[in-house]
Amino acid sequence: MIKLTDVSYTYMTGGPFEKAAVSDVNLTLNNGDFIGLMGHTGSGKSTLIQMIAGLIKPTSGTIEIDGQTLHSKDCNMRKIRFKTGLVMQYPEYQLFEETVFKDIAFGPSNMQLPDEDIKRRVEFAADLVGLAPEILEKSPFELSGGQKRRVAIAGVLAMEPQLLILDEPTAGLDPAGRDEILCKIKDMHRRLGITVILVSHSMEDLANITNRIVVMNHGRVAMHDKTSEIFKKSEELQKMGLAVPQITEICEKLRAAGLPLSEGIYTVEMAKAEIEKVLKK
């Protein structure tokens, strides 16, 4: 369980460019959930997840992960970091090794795993993000942007974290690659029972794979609920500069036109089932 109590974060405290990025966030996230995090640009999403990953210390407030308070005296931050994997926004710049294989292995080898274990994990992670085996021997610097992104994501997945946080992992990837990666992550979530936090601007992606959603607005948590409940509030979302999935919009319009569809439809499958049910009547 991840528990945030009155968490705030201010960049450059005391300076002329002081900026409160996150204010008074109280949030409890359950283990095993697939949580979507959305909010307008600059709403503090990246800041919030960096605090959860223990990379930056809240200016005030506390964060508890499975009963341990981050940055407290009796908390081994390194151990916690091995349990949490964070794929930062635009993670391509973190590549540095001679070969892709070695770069993906950086995380696992920091965990001091035996060699064969590392090898297994690297191959597993590379396969997960759709990297062909021959790429593993190339230098990460001669890859395309999308391939670099995949290597960076694989580098975190190879650590097999219990809490996986992804900050817009698919921004800038082609649609097929995006769906593939998200699908594999969903699959990993189901099989290993890990907790996933996914930051995304794509309502479709969030609707398809998350079961809970947190909405941030100007550094505060505006909503936190089941995915189906969140997308019922299309008006509120629009006020925050966000949207609902296109299929939800269409269903709303159909309902306004007199079709007796139920509320809170957010995937194409749900819409299909619902419309068929209505038409049969």
Partner 1 sequence: MFKDITLGQYFPGHSFIHRLDPRTKILAVIIYITSIFCIKSFLGYAVLAAFTVLCVLSSKIPFKFVLKGLKPIMIFVIITAIFNLFLTDGKILVRWSFITITYEGVRLAIFMVLRLFFLVLGTSILTLTTSPIALTDGIEYLLSPLKKVGVPAHELAMMMTIALRFVPTLLEETDKIIKAQTARGADFESGNLINRAKAMIPILIPLFISAFRRADDLAVAMECRCYRGGENRTRLRELKMKKGDVFGWFALVCLVGLIVLANVAYGRINI
56/49 Cα distance (integer angstroms): 9
* Of the candidate residues 8, 34, 45, 161, the single one contacting ligand ATP (CB under 6 A): 45
Give yes or no for residue 195 binding partner 1 (CB under 8 A). no
HSE, CB side, 13 Å, CA atoms: give it for residue 264. 6
Q: Which of partner 1, Mg ion, ligand ATP, none does residue 124 bind (CB under 5 to 8 Å by kind)? A: none
Residue ranges in 22-61 that form contacts with Mg ion under rule CB under 5 A = 46
Give yes or no for residue 115 binding partner 1 (CB under 8 A). no
200/205 Cα distance (integer angstroms): 8
* Of the candidate residues 26, 30, 31, 42, the single one contacting ligand ATP (CB under 6 A): 42
- Tokens linked to 65: 């992960």
Give yes or no for residue 124 binding partner 1 (CB under 8 A). no
Give yes or no for residue 159 binding partner 1 (CB under 8 A). yes
DSSP 38-101: EESTTSSHHHHHHHHTTSS--SEEEEEETTEETTSTT--HHHHHHHEEEE-SSGGGG--SSSHH
Residue pointed to by tokens 């300076």: 15
**Which residues form the interface with ligand ATP (CB under 6 A)?**
11-12, 19, 21, 39, 41-47, 89
Interacting residues toward partner 1 by CB under 8 A: 12-16, 50, 53, 55-56, 78, 81-82, 84-86, 88, 91, 93-96, 106-107, 110-111, 141, 155-156, 159
